[in-house]
Structure 1
Amino acid sequence: MKPELLMPGGSLEKLKYAFEYGADAVYVGVPLFSLRARENEMTFEDLREGIEYARARGKQVYVTANIFARNLKLKSFRENFKKWVDLKPDAFIMSDPGLMMIAKDIDPNVNIHLSVQANCMNWQAVKFWQQQGVTRVILSRELRIEEIKEIRNKVPDIEIEAFVHGSICIAYSGRCLLSHYMSHRDANQGVCDNSCRYGYNIHKAESDKDQEYFLEDLRNKGEFYRIDEDDNGTYIMNAKDLCVIEHLKELREAGVCSFKVEGRTKSLYYASMVAKIYRQAIDDMDAGKDFNPELLTELQKIPNRGYHKAFALGGTSHESQEYRHSTSRNFNQRFAGVVLDRSDKTGRVRVEARHRIRPEDEIEVISPSGGAKYTVGKIFNEQGEQVHQAGGGGLIFEFDLPHEVGPHSLISLCEKGGFNDKQL
């Protein structure tokens, strides 16, 4: 069976584009009850429309309500859950056993997927959650592929979901990793070395580089951890982004039925491009084709902190961290606009600009079915006046593009040398 491609939907617009660019399913958070409460644009009416949009296309929508709730949220959750159930989403992603009890009390047949926040790491835990009525387990990111395979062998009659792409933090599934990082002693296995409680010295390196520093652990004199610092500080806990697109076949063979991408707070461009690239990788795999390395090149067009494979093939190392920058910078194209339509009056393509575009800029027009590069010619504002640039911020401009542009097309600005942190 072909694995599901599960994409984030941080807004109704992102949900629609994720589907158009190849997602089989989208997960959306609900305000106050998901772990993206502050940056959640999904209203109740948006959720209703998103589910209807998915239904019309044979797609799935999973509602994320994965907080660990305090007492004051229990009543509100019960009241809201009744309304969500009536919309008939395909599943709820949850982690709090108490909230699961409320959900089952309201609808005994509700489909619950166990959130990665529940830190499920072994087959016995999977079996436990299965007995509680969970139909799918989203496994912890710390697991290696061979561990996932053992879970599938021990509990063959439950769905397994795993993250394959996106940002991850120093506490990968909500647990401290400092001890593991600094002394290879896993706090989550009972051998914490209390790295957070000891003293450290900062040493400036003897180097031609500006502001290059190292952290010395006072328990182990002479042992240093690199700390690169710029005007914004240092990024010792800044993990590179997860990317295991080359290993989807191994994950499928290990029993993973759903490949999940992180990014509900990422841009529309991110949701669309990652969906398109992983869609191609999954389809190629299903057709028996070898992995196409050009897909990795395509992923470099998308803002990222550098890619690594996390725990999938073994342990992590210092190479898993990005020490110099906190923001995404390893990319060579920038999201610049959304194509709206073609003007009946002028025949020009109308674009909602998300970043500055100027004449002579090289752009790529990307659609769900392909893409083509162009050099920007004349630009006009909505009044039909020629202007020297299309400013960002959602203003609408018109461009002369030589070919027909399909629905849900996006515009990216190309930069041969890549973008640096000052351009972000």
Structure 2
Amino acid sequence: MNILAPLGAYSEVEMLAENGANEFYCGITPTEWIDRYSPGVWLNRRNPYAGFPSFQELKKAVEASHSYGIPVFVTLNAPYYIDDQYPLLLDLVKYCSREIGVDAFIISDIGLMTAVKEQIPDAKIHVSSLAASMNEGSIELYKEIGVDRIVLPRSVQLDEITALKKAAGEIEIEVFLLNDGCVYEESFCMTTHNRVSAFCSQIQWDYQYFSANGNKQIKDLEKDKLDAQINDYREYVWFVNDCGGKVANDGLPLGPCGLCALPKLKEAGVDSLKIVGREGAAYRKIASVQMVKAVIAKMELTKNQSKVIEACKEIRNQPQFCKSGLMCYYR
């Protein structure tokens, strides 16, 4: 299983490669795109300033990555694009593939996938998690297009991963492993996160009680049940959003985690383990890579899954969070 790390700058290549990263993914938003559509229209599923600032910088990073034998994938995973945007996107794919040496493109828009296969057949396509590959029918669809890898959405669970990997055959399967959750199902979300965050991640809001007929007077027992449900939801949102955007006392990043599932993910035949956070700090990225590398090293020493899970919890050092189950990608 490869460790797929987020890359935000040329300066991050060496430290991530030396600490165990096997693959990189990144974004880039050309000035032509910003000039034509403004920074508010995102080229991929992150703020334009979370990616590489120029093709020159991207080329340096790709060359450095390739010196370590590490491939680089570029994200073009906005939920959809309009017809007017396709020529610029295809030019970008062609230039990044043939001039810069980008190894694959992470795409969610099925129209762009087919256009790339028709016009730039040598470019490799990784189906983004936003394309909602949640069942065998979707796997068959992307097989017909001729993709090279499918990134499964965060909500897909272990038994489903096993079935989908079997259906995928020779196509690689990538899953989420660390950091940054999504409150709902990102595959069906058509919004972007702005500077004050998305509405779905907000937990500080007021509410009132209404009965079915609009009368505010409801029973105290009903109020208590509603309050309990809302508090549970707020706790869940807090965990999904990296435990309030905090880090642990030992400096390790908090948030959605699939470390304990690594033995089962290996059994399922998963090819790549995704660490989320292109826009994150360099320390967050390196600490995440080190955690995954440590668990994989433990798996190489023992086939006892209980011991591996125990090691995961020791590395995490957050027993109360692990016990809650709310920080787990795979429950």
Which residue does the alignment assign to 1:142? 155
How much has 1:200 moved relative to structure 2? Answer: 5.0
TM-score scaled by length of structure 2 = 0.72
Work out which of the residue numbers 70, 77, 99 in structure 2 matches 1:59: 70
Distance 1:296 1:266 in 2: 23
Which residue does the alignment assign to 1:224? 226
Higher deviation after alignment, 277-286 or 44-53: 277-286
Which residue does the alignment assign to 1:413? none
Which residue does the alignment assign to 1:36? 46
Distance 1:58 1:260 in 2: 18
Between structures 1 and 2, the one with greater helix share: 2
Q: Deviations over 1:305-333 (max 9, x none)?
A: 997454523xxxxxxxxxxxxxxxxxxxx
Which residue does the alignment assign to 1:249? 263
Q: 1:271 to 1:151 in 2, by over 3 A?
A: same
Q: Deviations over 1:66-95 (max 9, x none)?
A: 112123322221222221112222211111
How much has 1:269 moved relative to structure 2? Answer: 0.4
Q: 1:122 to 1:49 in 2, by over 3 A?
A: same
Distance 2:166 2:327 in 1: 23
Distance 1:172 1:65 in 2: 19
Q: Which runs of 5+ in 1 are unaligned?
A: 177-198, 204-215, 229-233, 314-424
Which residue does the alignment assign to 1:10? 8
Distance 1:247 1:56 in 2: 31
Contact 1:13 1:268 in 2 (8 A): no
Q: Which runs of 5+ in 2 are unaligned?
A: 30-41, 190-205, 211-217, 241-254
Q: Deviations over 1:240-261 (max 9, x none)?
A: 3211111101011112111111
Identity %: 25
Give matches, 1:309-320, under 5 Å.
Answer: 310=328, 312-313=330-331
Work out which of the residue numbers 282, 287, 291 in structure 2 matches 1:268: 282
Distance 2:182 2:167 in 1: 29
Distance 2:118 2:64 in 1: 28
Distance 2:119 2:10 in 1: 26
Task: Give the secondary structure class of the aligned counterpart of 2:153.
Answer: coil
Give matches, 1:107-146, under 5 Å.
Answer: 107-146=120-159
Contact 2:177 2:329 in 1 (8 A): no
Q: 1:140 to 1:309 in 2, by over 3 A?
A: same
Work out which of the residue numbers 61, 71, 82 in structure 1 matches 2:83: 71
Contact 1:21 1:273 in 2 (8 A): no
* Alignment: residue pair count: 269
Contact 2:127 2:150 in 1 (8 A): yes
Which residue identity lines up with residue 294 of structure 2 in the other structure? Q
Which residue does the alignment assign to 1:169? 182
Which residue does the alignment assign to 2:244? none
Give matches, 1:204-223, under 5 Å.
Answer: 223=225
How much has 1:221 moved relative to structure 2? Answer: 5.8
Q: Deviations over 1:364-407 (max 9, x none)?
A: xxxxxxxxxxxxxxxxxxxxxxxxxxxxxxxxxxxxxxxxxxxx
Choose 1 or 2 for highest CA Rg.
Answer: 1
Which residue identity lines up with residue 91 of structure 1 in the other structure? A
How much has 1:235 moved relative to structure 2? Answer: 7.8
Q: 1:200 to 1:292 in 2, by over 3 A?
A: closer
Q: Which has the higher contact order (CA 8 A, sep 6+)?
A: 2
How much has 1:134 moved relative to structure 2? Answer: 0.8
Distance 1:77 1:99 in 2: 8
Which residue identity lines up with residue 97 of structure 1 in the other structure? I
